[in-house]
Structure 1
């Protein structure tokens, strides 16, 4: 049996770490919850009496696709969302309060709007 050297131990540790990282990222649960490029899956629910929906966008949207390929709607009106570099999400309604998911952004918008109607943003 070859002698265990520091180099071999570090190489083995690096290989195990890399293998563990790949396995953690490629689990079925992670694949089911996220679509292409880490985009969250679709949702459709009623939150505080308002219908909120979210789904991966087809890429044909306007505003330079700031939503990271994801579309969110409150009562059928598009809520413009943007994914930050750290993976958090913000919306046009709650721009200074990052949240972890587009669903959380939709809920935060409903909380902020209360009974007010979300008005569509004009396309430039």
Structure 2
């Protein structure tokens, strides 16, 4: 294995600096588009006859536990929360963590069994 020369060390440092500069330059563009780094992608689909939607939440004035993410079932907000381990739970399926907000919406539809989702009062 070749020895690490000063030239190779400086080349590697320059490459790391360029990569870090590109990542920090792209972060504001992603935030301006409404997508936070690490935030799940938006979705809009019909699942078992119910329309489920999810998207990064905008600042609506009340506190979101869903890490800045809003989920809706037939247009009614399904309150979701991200756990410390990265899993998601909802007010409907609170004891069954799932990997994504889409999975939380699907689990809520399954649990509702055709019943409408009622608005959850915000404190």
TM exceeding 0.5: yes
Alignment length (residue pairs): 101
* Corresponding position of 1:8: none
State the alpha-carbon separation in 2 of the partners of residues 73 and 51 from structure 1: 8
Distance in 2 between the 1:95 and 1:68 partners?
16
The alpha-carbon distance between structure 1 residues 111 and 83, as it changes in their structure 2 partners (threshold 3 A), is same
CA deviations on 1:37-72 (whole Å, 9 max, x unpaired) are 31111100000000000000013252x220110000
Match of 1:54 in 2: 54
Runs (4 or more) in structure 1 with deviation over 3 Å come to: none
The CA distance in 1 between the partners of 2:61 and 2:79, in whole Å, is: 11
Q: CA RMSD in A?
A: 2.6
- The whole-number CA distance in structure 1 between the counterparts of 2:119 and 2:101 is 18
1:80-119 paired onto structure 2 within 5 Å: 80-119=79-118
Find the residue that maps to 2:44 and give its secondary structure: strand
Gaps (5+ residues) in structure 1?
5-14
SS in 2 for 1:106: helix
Contact 1:88 1:100 in 2 (8 A): yes
**TM-score normalized by structure 1?**
0.70
1:100 alignment partner, SS class:
coil
Q: TM-score scaled by structure 2?
A: 0.71
